[in-house]
Homo-oligomer: A and B are copies of this chain.
Amino acid sequence: MPSPAPSPGARGYVVPIGGAEDKISDRRILARFVELCGGSEGRVAVLPTASLLPTTGDAYKRVFRELGIADVVVVDVAERKHAEEERWSDALEGVTGIFLTGGNQLRLSTILGGTPIATRIRRMNARGVHVAGTSAGAAFICEHMIAHGASGATPRAGQVALAPGLGLTNRIIIDQHFRERDRLGRLLTALSYNPFSVGFGLDEDTAAFIDPRDHAHVVGSGGITVVDVSQLAYSSMALSEVGDPVELVGVRLHILSNGAAFDLSSRIATPGPHRPADPTA
C-alpha cells in the first residue's frame, strides 16, 4: 500500500517515463521534472540500481546538472547486501526528487524490495518528494509491476508475470516502450487478473506526471495508451489455460499525447491542446 499522505495534495508527483527519454535536445520530460524539484534550489538523487552499466548514474547526474540542478547525488546500490548502509540514508537527506534509471526492473525489486531504502522512498514521496522512473524504473514505481512478458496485441493467459513493486501507487499498472515493443496484450493480461487498476502503456520519450490529486499529465513526443477496465463486462481469465487468448468485453481505451490529462479518480480523459491545422496545407 502507498504510505498515507499527511494531508491531501501533500504527496509528491509520481512520474513514470516510457524509456529512451530525450537527453540531448529539448529534454522536455527531464526539464519538467527538474522544474518540479525546484530547479537550481533542488536536490536530486539518482538510483541506477536497475542498470548494469557502471556509467548510468553519472550520465544522469551530468544531464540533471546541465538542466540546472547543482546538487545531484548518485545512490549506487548495486547489491542487496549494501542496501542497508547508513551512507544511503545520508545521501537521501533533503532531496526534492528521486530518479530511478532504466535497466532490469527485477534488479530493482530484488535489490531494493523490503529494504529501508524502499520504505524511505515511499515515505518521502508521501511527504512531497517527487519520484520519477524511466523504463524499468517506471515499471517498478507501482504496487504491481510487470516483471516480464511476451509481446503481441492479443492478451493470452500466462503472457505476463506480475511482481510486487515499490508501491508508490496502486491505481495504475505501467508498461513501457509500449509502441516500440508491442505490449498491449501483456498489459491487458496484467489488468485482467484484477480489473481495479488503470493500465498506462507509455511510449518511449513519453511520461505521465501524476500529481498529488491523481491527475496524470502527458509530457513527451509519443503517446500514452490508457486502458480502463472499470466497465469490463466479462473476462475469461479464470477459465483460460496458459496460451489461450483471454476474452475481454468492454475495455475502454484512450490514446493521449503531450498536453493531455487523465483523472485516475473519475477516469475522465482530457485531450491536449493541438496546433490549429495549417490553412495552406
- Partner-B contacts on A (CB < 8 A): 151-155, 178-180, 182-185, 188, 201, 203, 222-223, 225, 233-234, 236, 238-240, 244-257, 260, 269-272, 274-277
Chain B residues whose C-beta falls within 8 Å of the C-beta of A203 in the assembled complex: 154, 245
CA distance A184 to B180 in the complex (A): 12
Q: Most B CB atoms within 10 A — which of A182, A250, A252?
A: A182
Nearest-Cβ distance from residue A229 to partner chain B, whole angstroms? 10
Chain B residue at minimum C-beta to C-beta distance from A269: B249
B271 touches A247 (CB 8 A): yes
B254 touches A248 (CB 8 A): yes
- 9 residue pairs of the A-B complex, CB under 8 angstroms, read A152-B182, A153-B153, A154-B225, A155-B223, A155-B255, A247-B257, A247-B274, A248-B253, A251-B253
B245 touches A255 (CB 8 A): yes
**When A and B form their complex, which 5 residue pairs have the shortest distance between CB atoms, in order from nearest?**
A223-B245, A182-B182, A154-B223, A239-B274, A251-B253
Chain B residues whose C-beta falls within 8 Å of the C-beta of A238 in the assembled complex: 277
Chain B residues whose C-beta falls within 8 Å of the C-beta of A270 in the assembled complex: 249
Chain B residues whose C-beta falls within 8 Å of the C-beta of A247 in the assembled complex: 223, 254-257, 260, 271-272, 274
Assuming the A-B contacts A188-B255, A251-B254, are A234 and B179 also in contact, with contact meaning beta carbons closer than 8 angstroms in the complex? Answer: no
Nearest-Cβ distance from residue A25 to partner chain B, whole angstroms? 16
A277 touches B153 (CB 8 A): no
CA distance A188 to B90 in the complex (A): 50
Chain B residue at minimum C-beta to C-beta distance from A274: B239
Chain B residue at minimum C-beta to C-beta distance from A185: B179
Chain B residues whose C-beta falls within 8 Å of the C-beta of A225 in the assembled complex: 153-154
CA distance A238 to B178 in the complex (A): 24
Assuming the A-B contacts A249-B254, A252-B253, are A154 and B182 also in contact, with contact meaning beta carbons closer than 8 angstroms in the complex? Answer: no
A240 touches B274 (CB 8 A): yes
Chain B residues whose C-beta falls within 8 Å of the C-beta of A260 in the assembled complex: 247
CA distance A274 to B244 in the complex (A): 11
Chain B residues whose C-beta falls within 8 Å of the C-beta of A274 in the assembled complex: 236, 239-240, 247
